[in-house]
């Protein structure tokens, strides 16, 4: 009986480890670019924390830190549309943002 229980436990761990390995998607070999910047309030100029920054057409997103800074890594070099949103503020859509142009990206959100 102890052998059966031990065998079942080993099988459960093996299946769990295998399932976790399949859910992890490796970054594409050419994914070496990033989009980064800061989000601030348009009226006050204060940094906004907790702002969601999403790359449209992907599942990649980031949230700003306490200083309003964000960074989205693992992007293939190219051009992307980015949506920036926070409750009580109007969404901002940045179209055709090139990964090579994001060194000093400043996004200003307007309060609704």
Q: Which residue has the higher pLDDT, 57 or 8?
A: 57
pLDDT for residue 30 is more than 60: no
The answer to whether 92 and 24 are in contact (CB under 8 A) is no
Q: What kind and span of H or E run contains 60?
A: none
Q: Work out whether strand 79-85 and strand 92-98 pair parallel, antiparallel, or are unpaired.
A: antiparallel
Give all strands (DSSP E) within 1-112, no chain letters.
33-41, 52-55, 61-63, 69-75, 79-85, 92-98, 105-109
pLDDT in tens, 54-99: 999 899 999 999 999 999 988 888 899 999 999 999 999 999 988 8
The total number of residues written for the chain in this structure? 112
Confidence of residue 31 (pLDDT cuts 50, 70, 90): low
Residues 6+ apart with CB under 8 A from 46: 40
Percent of the chain whose pLDDT exceeds 70: 70
Phi-psi region of 103 (alpha: psi -120 to 50; beta: other; left: phi over 0): alpha
Q: Please, what CATH class does the domain formed by 33-109 belong to?
A: mainly beta
Q: For position 2, what pLDDT does the model report?
A: 46
Q: Which residue has the higher pLDDT, 63 or 30?
A: 63
pLDDT for residue 23 is more than 60: no
């Amino acid at each position: 009986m102890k052998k059966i229980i031990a065998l079942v436990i080993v099988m459960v761990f093996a299946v769990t480890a295998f399932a976790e390995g399949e859910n992890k998607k490796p970054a594409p070999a050419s994914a070496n670019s990033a989009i980064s910047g800061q989000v601030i309030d348009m009226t006050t100029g204060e940094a906004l924390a907790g702002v969601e920054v999403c790359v449209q057409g992907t599942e990649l997103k980031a949230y700003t830190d306490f200083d309003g800074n964000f960074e989205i890594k693992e992007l293939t070099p190219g051009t992307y549309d980015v949506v920036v949103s926070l409750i009580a503020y109007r969404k901002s859509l940045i179209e055709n943002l090139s990964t090579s142009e994001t060194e000093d990206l400043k996004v200003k959100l307007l309060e609704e």
